[in-house]
Amino acid sequence: MPEAESSGGVWADDETGVSVVADLPREELLPGHHAPSSIYLGPGDAPGVGFKIAAADAAQFVGRPLADLHAHEVDEVYLVVTPGLHFDVETDRGSVEVRSPVSVRIPAGTPHRFVVREARTSPCPFLAILLESSS
């Protein structure tokens, strides 16, 4: 049986059809963010991938925003499956208080950011999924 190796880049196993993306995460500065984001999967990584997944440790951002108020040209989904995260999703029209486990959709063009109020575990993975434009 072939074994997935972290030898770099993206590779596919011809026998099984399985694609592997290694050497993760990749760092990428996203608009409005204070520091590079850790990217785990994106459109260039495998055929048919129509989204980008970024991750952060929410426990490192208690009491302060991860980014300035910013917008994306595509929908963004926050996925937090780790229990014990309490955060606000702030937009230019108000704020929504949220507790995990939860998923949150931010419509394309909506100025937003999140501010962590409490993280009961550390690390506390927080995934942001940027959906590809359908045009």
The tokens describing 116, both together, are 């962590």
Q: Given this model, what pLDDT does residue 8 score?
A: 59
Please check whether residue 65 lies inside any domain of the structure: yes
Q: Find the range with the poorest average confidence among 15-19, 75-79, 83-87, 121-125.
A: 15-19
Please check whether residue 10 lies inside any domain of the structure: no
pTM: 0.77
Please check whether residue 1 lies inside any domain of the structure: no
- 110-121, pLDDT tens digit by residue? 999 999 999 999
Q: Given this model, what pLDDT does residue 83 score?
A: 93
Please check whether residue 5 lies inside any domain of the structure: no
Q: What is the CATH number of the domain that holds 97?
A: 2.60.120.10
Please check whether residue 20 lies inside any domain of the structure: no
Please check whether residue 53 lies inside any domain of the structure: yes
Please check whether residue 107 lies inside any domain of the structure: yes
DSSP codes of every residue in 73-130: SS-EEEEE-STTEEEEEEETTEEEEEESSEEEEE-TT--EEEEEEEESSSS-EEEEEE
Number of structural domains in the chain: 1
**Structural domain span for residue 106:** 25-131
Please check whether residue 113 lies inside any domain of the structure: yes
Only one residue has tokens 């996203």, namely 30
Q: For residue 87, give every residue at least 6 positions away whose Cβ sits within 8 Å of its Cβ, in sequence order, or none.
A: 58, 97, 98, 114, 115, 116, 117
